[in-house]
Chains A and B, each alone.
Chain A
Amino acid sequence: MSIDKSLLAGSTTTLILKLLEEKDMYGYQMIETLAQKSDDTFNLKAGTLYPILHNLENNGAVESYEEEADNGRIRKYYHLTSKGKKLLQEKHQEWITYSSAVNRILNGGGKLCSNHLMK
């Protein structure tokens, strides 16, 4: 099932940071990996990805380097910095707070649910 774009927009940065936590990747690889891992739920447009990546690089959360692939194409790899790791932790925490709140309300305001999560 494809999902609403605006829903994806809010969490794209977190997902990109998470991907880079595992290993250095280039743009196309990120889109492919994200689609694979989510069973094609996240079909991220390349045009959305690059502005986010370049912004993260400007802020020092990721850094990039170029490497030549076997087919002679130059690939720009992105690497998560320690600043980026901290940002990921914050974003992850933010997501937990947000999603548990959404779940709580969707599940009928069950305090039980949130208590359950707290444990």
Chain B
Amino acid sequence: MQQPFDEIKQYSKTVCEQIRWKKAHNIIAEEIENHLCDQRDAYISQGEDEKSATQKAILQMGDAVSIGMELDKIHKPKPQWAMITLTAMLMLIGMLSNYFIDSSEYSLARFSLAPYIIALTVFLICYLLDFSILGKYAKHCYFITLVISFIGLLFSNPINGGAWFLVGRSSVSLSYLSLIFPLAYSLLIYALRHRRYKGIILCGIGYIPFAIILLLVPSFTGFALFTISALVVLCMSIVKGWFGIDKKRGLLLVFIPAFIAVIAAIIYIIQSPHSLNRLSAAVSPYSDRNGSGYIYCLVRDLLANSKFVGKGTAPAQFGSNVPIIPASGTDYILTALTYNFGWIAFIGISVVIIAFSIFGLYYVTKQKSVLGTIVSSSIMLTFVLQAVIYIISNLGYGILSALSLPLISYGKAALIINSALIGFMLSVFRTGDILKDSIKSPIKVNPIFSYEDGKLIINFKGN
């Protein structure tokens, strides 16, 4: 004979069988089963026995198949085709620009499709992956990132004033860690959000090791990118009330130390000749044209001689022998493209990036769950900050050096990391609707004695 609770299970299973999107099954089944149990208990308290109470409750709910079909119309994943198209466009632009830059300046042999195939695979994996695992293992993600970065730093080699990690014949700049840190840090915020003021203080402590690693690399751009996005996500979490504390006090708890840190940073910059030098070079590069102002002057001269369409004219001082910008594929791809193909290339790429940013930020605000909002906003910030820093630097006004132009500039590690991040973000946009937040933390301690479905359960293990 079928047990009453089995009947409830069977009913919710029939409802779910009509719903094609499997991810929605658990949440719908839970709601329906709880409803039936509530209704059954109400009938029992009116004097019905359990079996007939269950049957009446099921009858009250209605036909399982037609409910399932109704719910199937409502619950569907929402692939954001506009954003997928924009991602594909960015990747394609990156591929073409790197191909043409290489072919005109070096040799075709340097161009390889392999990183793009890897990046596309990584993107698809992250896109199809259930991003809620990030929430399940939020703290693990933070600590694993921390340990790997620390090991990477220990075994890194200093090249061109920055730390690089050598893998076989390729090398990865550790400054790219700053692309992963915002996401890892936002997961820490997610994990600590129930812990009120203590949670904010712990988030403050959690910020320090990542910041120190980036200052040791050293990557000031990475440090700025991580700090700004960490600050924004933390403040957003406080303002949205996820820490469950007074918003003004919470913000003060963040802003006071942040303000002190900014003052300390300014004092450090004023006292460090290297930083001052860089600052003065960015502000008035022509005063030290052949020294620290060299790149700034070159970038501005090339842009001043760029046409709207077509290759720019040679700046007068160089004659026909126009110098190549050092590392143009990595750090100055926009400048190089603008000079070689005209401002139209610059405008075209900027439009795609701006469209991606606007769509992305719009979908971030549409997220309903805490995890969805935290993950997508930290990734979106990483994208926007990278792009803004890169564009300013490519216009010849960058106080911060360029890190990467997402999916476009040359750099295998940055390409793959950005593909993974965007994959995760689009996965949030596609399936984030179904994710729900529990107000109470899901930690549950089972009692030794419990009563369920008419059975007395004695739990010897205590868990």
Complex Cα spacing A45 to B70, Å: 14
Complex Cα spacing A26 to B440, Å: 16
Complex Cα spacing A74 to B34, Å: 7
Stretch from B57-65, B165-173, B200-208, B352-360 at the A interface: B57-65
Encode A36-78 as 1/0 by CB contact (under 8 A) with B: 0000000001111011001100100001111110001111100
Taking a contact as CB atoms under 8 Å apart, the answer to whether A46 and B62 are in contact is: yes
Taking a contact as CB atoms under 8 Å apart, the answer to whether A50 and B31 are in contact is: yes
- Nearest A residue to B369 via CB reads A65
Q: Is B23 an interface residue (CB 8 A)?
A: no
Complex Cα spacing A106 to B63, Å: 35
Q: How many chain A residues touch B (Cβ–Cβ < 8 Å)?
A: 24
Taking a contact as CB atoms under 8 Å apart, the answer to whether A74 and B62 are in contact is: no
Encode B25-41 as 1/0 by CB contact (under 8 A) with A: 00110111011011100
Q: Is B437 an interface residue (CB 8 A)?
A: yes
Q: How many chain B residues touch A (Cβ–Cβ < 8 Å)?
A: 31
Residues of the A chain whose Cβ atoms lie less than 8 Å from the Cβ of B31:
27, 50, 76
- Nearest A residue to B370 via CB reads A65
| B368 touches which of A32, A55, A63, A67 (Cβ 8 Å) | A63
Min CB–CB distance B29 → chain A (angstroms): 12
Q: Is A98 an interface residue (CB 8 A)?
A: no
Min CB–CB distance A65 → chain B (angstroms): 6
Q: Is A28 an interface residue (CB 8 A)?
A: yes
Complex Cα spacing A75 to B63, Å: 22
Interface residues, chain B, with chain A CB atoms under 8 Å away: 27-28, 30-32, 34-35, 37-39, 42, 60-64, 66-67, 70-71, 73-75, 368, 433, 436-440, 444
The 23 listed contacts between A and B (C-beta, < 8 Å) are A28-B39, A32-B42, A45-B60, A45-B62, A47-B61, A47-B62, A47-B64, A47-B67, A50-B28, A50-B67, A51-B70, A51-B71, A54-B74, A54-B75, A55-B74, A63-B368, A65-B438, A66-B437, A66-B438, A66-B439, A68-B438, A74-B34, A74-B438
9 other A-B residue contacts (CB within 8 Å) besides A47-B63, A74-B438: A32-B42, A46-B61, A50-B31, A50-B35, A54-B75, A55-B74, A65-B439, A73-B34, A76-B31
